[in-house]
Amino acid sequence: MSSDSSLYTHTPMGEAIIKAMAEVNAEIVELVDDAEPGTFKAYIFGGAALHIHTNARGSNDIDVEFTAARKIELGDISIEYIDEEGVTRVLEVDDTFNPTISGLLSEYYQEDAIPLFGSDTDPLVAFVVTGIDLAVSKLDRLAETDQDDIIALHQAEKFTATELKDHADEALKGAVGSEKRLIGNINYMVSRLLELEN
């Protein structure tokens, strides 16, 4: 259960995301004998995380980073749900997602992530990354959709322009890729957010 009342976990898609994590948990229970509580962790990124933070655009998949003491092969997990317009949608768990593909990510994103699913007895604990960590992860590619997503997170008051700059500059210390390009992306996006704040 989420500990943050500002998260959209009770929308049709939000509930489908939680249900998907429950299905992953059930599969772990089946595949791993005597799995200790909390030995598997899931960190949600991408469009699913954006929806949880802002109720913005939907997504067909859940970008999830799994960490565990041992690797397991999850089966294809998909959840069917009815959206707000009455349209049937399918949400699939993408367990191949790797957040380090982005050249920019806070080294503390796992510690700062917000719990969404998991009890004292579940082998899986699922988290959504914070709004600011999600925004920073989008500063590398910074396509038009990434810019829109960062603005949506900013408008949802997940961070200020200054907070994003500070967080991104900190993440830059451990970044991979062209530092000059990343600095340019950070400065461009921060200037756009500052315009919105004025």
Report DSSP letters for 126-145, one per residue: EEE--HHHHHHHTTTT--HH
**102 pLDDT more than 60:** yes
Taking residues 164-184, report their average pLDDT: 91
**Nearest partner of 135 among 158, 112, 169, judged by Cα:** 158
pTM of the model: 0.93
CA-to-CA distance for 148 and 156, rounded, in angstroms? 12
What pLDDT, on a 0 to 100 scale, did the predictor assign at position 3? 41
CA-to-CA distance for 23 and 17, rounded, in angstroms? 10
What pLDDT, on a 0 to 100 scale, did the predictor assign at position 5? 59
**86 pLDDT more than 80:** yes
Q: What residue spans of the chain are helical by DSSP H?
A: 12-31, 46-54, 109-112, 131-137, 144-155, 161-172, 179-197
Comparison of pLDDT for 101 and 7, the residue scoring more: 7
CA-to-CA distance for 107 and 66, rounded, in angstroms? 16
Per-residue pLDDT band at 1 (split at 50, 70, 90): very low
Contact predicate 75/45, CB 8 Å: no
Query: What percent of the chain has a predicted confidence (pLDDT) above 90?
Result: 79
Which sign, positive or negative, has the C-alpha torsion 175, 7, 125, 112? positive
Strand, helix or coil for residue 101 = helix
